[in-house]
Amino acid sequence: MQFTISTIALIASMMASTSAMPLEARAQMCNVAPSASSGSATAISTPTAATAQVCEEACAANSACKSYVFGLPTGASSPTCKLFSVAASQIPTQDSKLVVFDKACTNVPNTAPTAANPVGTVGSNTGSNTGSNTGSNAGSNTNTGAKTGANADTTNKQKQQKRDVCGAAPSGPATQNPTPIQTQTNIASQDACLALCKKTSGCQSITFSKAQCKLFNVAASKLPANGQAVAFDVGC
């Protein structure tokens, strides 16, 4: 059997494409301990995140973020979320309870971490099961309506959470320049600034930079770029 040059080139191209696919799949690091032997990668942001999924959303909202570290450090009372501008494979070893995720990872844990599960777990979709059970009970029309309304409310809250900006640089329209409803220059951390917003009537978002905390009555998505400041919605 004879092969033309074009046929040989086509076969070589198909073989190269097939062999490259496993390498690409292996390149992703998801929910594993960081293990770079060298390097000095430092976090570009440390947003407040109650779950790994919220940390993932903060990374997705930050165009510079390529990977993130999450977990409940040994002896800590609240979890740690760190965003990095390098791939997960370049992040050096962290606390033994912290794991690393590349930005493209899926099935990220969505429950709060505990000492037994320092990264959290992927929770089951109880809403779908509730809907199925309700649908099979034709006689419970009242309960069905109540559960449907509750599920819709939960879905709306989840969508709102995904829209929240948590620790990203402000990127709203430059033509808008909302006036802060309050400015504090003695706030020590992003967490303290966010806590102030949550107890201030009308506060919807904050920016924080070098101990300067500004509260706004608009969503973080409407705040324009502001130097080194990072933005948080009140729901973060």
182 in the Ramachandran plot: left (φ > 0), alpha (ψ -120 to 50) or beta? beta
> In the prediction, which pLDDT does 19 show?
46
Residue 85 belongs to a domain with what CATH number?
A: 3.50.4
pLDDT value of position 128: 40
3-state secondary structure of 60: helix
- On the 0-12 / 13-18 / 19+ scale of CB atoms within 10 A, 180 is middle
Q: Tokens representing 153?
A: 């409310």
Positive/negative CA dihedral, 99, 102, 103, 108: negative
Q: How confident is the model at residue 1 (pLDDT cuts 50, 70, 90)?
A: very low
DSSP string, 198-235: HTSTT--EEEEETTEEEEESS-GGGPPP-TT-EEEETT
Residue 70 in any domain: the answer is yes
Number of domains into which the chain is organized:
2
The answer to whether residue 11 is domain-embedded is: no
Task: Write the CB contacts of 74 (distance below 8 Å, at least 6 apart in sequence).
Answer: 95, 96, 97
- Which residues does residue 99 pair with via DSSP β-bridges, in sequence order? 70
Q: What DSSP state is assigned to residue 45?
A: B
Confidence band for 172, pLDDT divided at 50, 70 and 90? confident
Answer whether residue 74 is part of any domain. yes
Q: Tell whether the model's pLDDT for residue 26 goes beyond 80.
A: no
CATH number of the domain that residue 204 is part of: 3.50.4.10
Q: Is residue 5 part of a domain?
A: no
Task: Say how far apart CA 135 and CA 7 lie, in whole Å.
Answer: 57
For residue 143, being part of any structural domain is answered with no
Q: pLDDT tens across 80-112, in order?
A: 999 999 999 999 988 889 999 999 999 999 999
Among 5-19, 49-63, 202-216, 221-235, the least confident range: 5-19
Spatial distance between the Cα atoms of 80 and 170, rounded to a whole number of angstroms: 22
Residue 90 is given by DSSP the state: G
CB 208 within 8 A of CB 188: no
Whether the CB-CB separation of 182 and 215 falls below 8 Å is answered with yes
Kindly state whether residue 34 falls inside one of the protein's structural domains: yes
pLDDT at site 32: 93
Rounded CA-CA distance 194/206 in Å is: 7
Please identify, among 76, 102, 128, the residue that sits at the C-terminal boundary of a domain. Answer: 102
Question: Residue 145 domain-assigned?
Answer: no
Tokens of 228: 């080194």
In a domain, 161, yes or no: no
Residue 226 pLDDT grade (very low, low, confident, very high; cuts 50, 70, 90): confident
CA dihedral 103, 106, 110, 116 (to 10 degrees): -90
Q: Which of 227, 174, 182 is nearest to 204 (CA)?
A: 182
Q: Mark which of 83, 102, 121 sits at the end of a domain.
A: 102
- Looking at 84, 102, 120, the residue that finishes a domain is 102
Domain range for 51: 30-102
What share of the chain in percent tops pLDDT 90?
Answer: 47
pLDDT at 138 over 70: no
